[in-house]
Structure 1
Amino acid sequence: MTTRYADAVVCGSGVAGLAAACALGRLGLDVALLEKTPRQPLVPKGEVLQPGSLHILAEWGALSALEERRAVRLNRLVARQPDGAELLAMDFGLLGDERSWMLSHTYETILDCLGDSLPGTVRWQRGVLVNDIVNDTDGRVAGVRAAVGRSEFDVRARFVVAADGMSSRLRKLSGMTAAPVAYGHRLLAVELPGPPAAADEVSAYITGRGLVMAYPLPDDRTRCYVQVAADELRNADAARLRRWCDELVEDVPALAPLARRLQDAIGRRHLLKVWRYWAPSVVRPGIVLVGEAAHGVHPLAAQGMNTAIGDAHALAAHLSAVDTQKSVEVDRALESYEEQRVDRIRDIHVMSHRAARMMTSTSRGGRLLGKRLLSGTARSRRLRHQLTYNLSGLGMRPLSVLDRLFQLGVLPDRRAQPFPATE
């Protein structure tokens, strides 16, 4: 069996793996990036980048590539009634930041731009299956055992980055745990030709059937997500799909301009299962979890991919000041990363789950409560700003118990007008 050597080995080349390889390669580290699939499958997820991620991508040189490929600027995330009436608008322009907007593009294009930004010290190999971890005599992770076809080899490294997704094999092999919980619904994703009614926003409709979302993609396209039951369209024929589209537009009149395009595109739909989880620990000596290996959230708030990019950036920051040739210093940096990052992951998880419960409830009581919370937030300029800031990826100021009472209208928010300073 042959042995290869690197400073770091990154397993998985989705957004988390590419971001980690990019961030670590920029430190001058020799990075082996291993991916099991021969080519990236097309998936309708991870298409909206928050302002916090844009700063990181600009630093890595990937943002200009996205803009050259006509990424769409999204200025607002708006919760709406089924007829389009506005319940709560989160305007990123009010943050006063250098890049106070979101960007949308297809997941595969975002991956392409990250891949094109990889430093020359990153060696990327596809079609490699990582089967096991390699330990030192003291039990510290010191690399991985991988295979291409029937040819097996070891990659020895100063540390391993597990970016191998929700079902992470490396997480299990290293003794870390996560407990994914499935939401009781799925999201139907469909791409429509032509732009949506609102060309610069993510529109999220609260309806009797649950969440419906629409936002623009480059080249005059629209991404539409519709909350569905697991078996709602199982074995549906063309006639049933047409009826379903008609029922959707009847339930959500704001989608009427998209009705014909929805009928034409529904046969190319994707059905996505939706999970939530976060690993209470993301580090063991010699190995660290990033991206979906460490956490997963509902897509509603567009936090999953953005948190993964933040993971990579924060990890590199902790490693930048240490001698990566010394295992003890690497492990100390990984522990410092975990101490800081797990709290941020938890806060994002809680925020995303609360937003999902508020926007996806199909019970009358749940919808009324969700609308009350949204309306209460809309009445407070301060709370609108705080929620927008939390979603932006620029930082996190979790809502307090008092803030929840303000949202419900139980107490008046006497600080409702001033904006807090942007961190």
Structure 2
Amino acid sequence: MSSRSNNAVIDLSNDSPERSRRRHGSVMDDGRNYSDVRQGRAAAARPQVIDLVNEPSSPRTSDSKPSSRAFTPYAQSSRQSSPPTKRKRTESNATTSAAAMPISQRSADGGVITHNLLNLIDQFRNQNTLTINGNTTQSTPRNVKNPKQPFHYTQEDTWSCGFRNLQMLISAMPPSFQSIFPNGVPPLNEFQSSFEILWAEGFDPTGAHHHDSKMVGKSGKVSWIGAVEVWSYLSFRGIDATIVQFAKNMENRSCIGSFVWAYFSRLGPECDCQASNSRMTSYQYAQELVQTAKQIHGSAEETPSLITCSCTLLPLYLQWAGHSVTIVGIRRERIITSNGSASIRYHLIVFDPQKDGGMLRNKLTNELSKSGQRQRNCLNFMELSTERLLNKDTQVLLSTARIISDHERERCKERVSCISVTV
């Protein structure tokens, strides 16, 4: 199979070792022009998007009108689900109500869905812990519309992490997206069908070439997807999204913590989310967040944790070579050294599809029951320190609750919306 071009978006995609060997350090910037990729050359004035590998590092062991109907993470699949595991699960369907949900359920495509994790995380009172629902010191985050509860999807294989994280992202989308996903979060086979359709429409021709325009029925490494594929899918669906890349050197990579903190702190410029005809694009929003991240990067001073708007804040999709996770929050830790100097460490709160959601929920419940006996790092089993990412090129996909215009959607066929962070 042909490898994807080195000019591809820092497509931390789940691609093959062969594809990795043919790609030597190509790094992205603000997008790629698909027509130039077809001609086998990079646009002279256009930055490249990094093409990262997303293969498992080790096998697992263990303009629409709002709808009053609750957005369900469940969808019926036209394909037979995978055989059940030894763990007891309840088969889910599109009509399951949130109130009646057990802790974990098997989805129609063989994954395992766990609910209420974020609600438990939000009960940890710490002014330095932020989630998509705001500061966890607030029982109900001020000014935030419709706090969401994204669902955790567990992969029971070694290849579907990209799909599972896409499902988590969609599960957190507001009711206004009901018309886009009328049957709830799509199962894997529906995603695969959509990829073939979007490739036929002209989205991501490099990805189409790599996969021979075929995805339905595939499993294993030949069906891996990454940040670029997720971006292409969202754009195809009319959802505004942008990829932010942290690559090339440790200084650039070290900005990911301050960027994510700025995002969850809503530290960007005053938002115009109340103006129905004037809404900031994800690219503009990402640009402002990058500038804010650079300003607070390396500073040990306390930064405000202010909710300055009522925009729906969605989780972030994080990709690196080997795996992807969903960022639902962040913890900021101020470290005082023996000589009195201070530094900041960031810990991403993630939904990792390789981890058992039911086990995570039990651990959170146990920690909450300890009351005053809780340890300071009681969320460590759900955290990913940004220090562990200093040697990895990473991509963060930022999506908003904004529906793109038909013109914007057509432009997405030509180039990827991507920003490369440089310090």
Give me the TM-score of the superposition, normalised by structure 1. Answer: 0.26
Structure scoring higher RCO (CA < 8 A, sep ≥ 6) equals: 2
- Greater fraction of residues in strand: 1
TM-score, normalised via structure 2 length: 0.26
Q: Which has the higher helix share?
A: 1
Higher Cα Rg: structure 1 or 2?
A: 1
